[in-house]
Amino acid sequence: MQIGIFSGSFNPIHVGHLALANYLCEYEGLGEVWFVVSPCNPFKQGNRLMPDELRLQLVQMAIADYPKFRASDVEFSLPRPSYTINTLNELKRQYPEHTFHLIMGSDNWPGFPRWYKSEEILAQHGLLIYPRPGYPIDANALPSGVRMVDSPVLEVSSTFIRESLSQGKDIRFFLPEGIYQELLKHKNDIPC
**Taking residues 9-38, what's their average pLDDT?**
96
For 17, residues 6+ apart whose C-beta sits below 8 A from its C-beta are: 6, 8, 10, 35, 62
Residue 118, in any domain of the structure: yes
Residue 90, in any domain of the structure: yes
pTM to 2 decimal places: 0.92
Supply the CATH number for residue 151's domain. 3.40.50.620
For position 181, what pLDDT does the model report? 92
Q: Are the beta carbons of 7 and 70 closer than 8 angstroms?
A: no
Range of the domain at 80: 2-158
Residue 191, in any domain of the structure: no
Q: Angle 15-27/52-63 helices, nearest 10 degrees?
A: 50
**Taking residues 114-127, what's their average pLDDT?**
95
Q: In whole angstroms, what is the distance from residue 181 CA to residue 48 CA?
A: 21
Q: In whole angstroms, what is the distance from residue 113 CA to residue 172 CA?
A: 37
Residue 169, in any domain of the structure: no
Residue 88, in any domain of the structure: yes
Q: In whole angstroms, what is the distance from residue 96 CA to residue 139 CA?
A: 29
For position 153, what pLDDT does the model report? 86
Strand ranges (E), the chain: 2-8, 32-37, 69-72, 99-105, 126-130, 146-148
Looking at the 3D structure of the chain, how many domains does it have?
1
Residue 180, in any domain of the structure: no
For residue 35, give the nearest of 120, 158, 132 by alpha carbon: 158
Residue 166, in any domain of the structure: no
